[in-house]
Amino acid sequence: MGKAERALNAILMVGIEDAPQSALLAKAHTLVEMFRLDCAAEYLRQGKESIDLGVTDDLVRLREVVDRELDRRLDEDLTDTVTDVLADVCLYLHRATRALDCQRPWTGDGPAGCGKV
């Protein structure tokens, strides 16, 4: 199991906790930020030069894993707190990775909507 899948499992566990929705969402966002920091620390330990690009790639992987799980839950008509938390984390990750993608050097085929024509 990769680090994105482990992070997804931790996020899924947040959804089954008995707490107000706002507390669950804050905890899930904290897990995403911890994932980001853990990835950065790993790249620092490895002596990688492009830490930001590596972290962005890891966040994109996490976003894809969360997207797939959310799609699966929606396809099965699962409507519960876990699905609500996943939907929120999905939006959070899309915003975060879009912002990071827009900071990358433009290669002519960069992400759509980042001000590059």
* Nearest CA-CA partner of 19 in 90, 84, 91: 84
- Tell me, what's the pLDDT at 111? 43
83 contacts 11 by C-beta, under 8 angstroms: no
Q: Tens digits of per-residue pLDDT, 17-46? A: 999 999 999 999 999 999 999 999 999 999
Q: Tens digits of per-residue pLDDT, 74-106? A: 999 888 999 999 999 999 999 988 876 666 554
Round the average pLDDT of the chain to a whole number and report it: 86
Residue with token string 């984390």:
89
Alpha carbon of residue 108 to chain centroid: 25
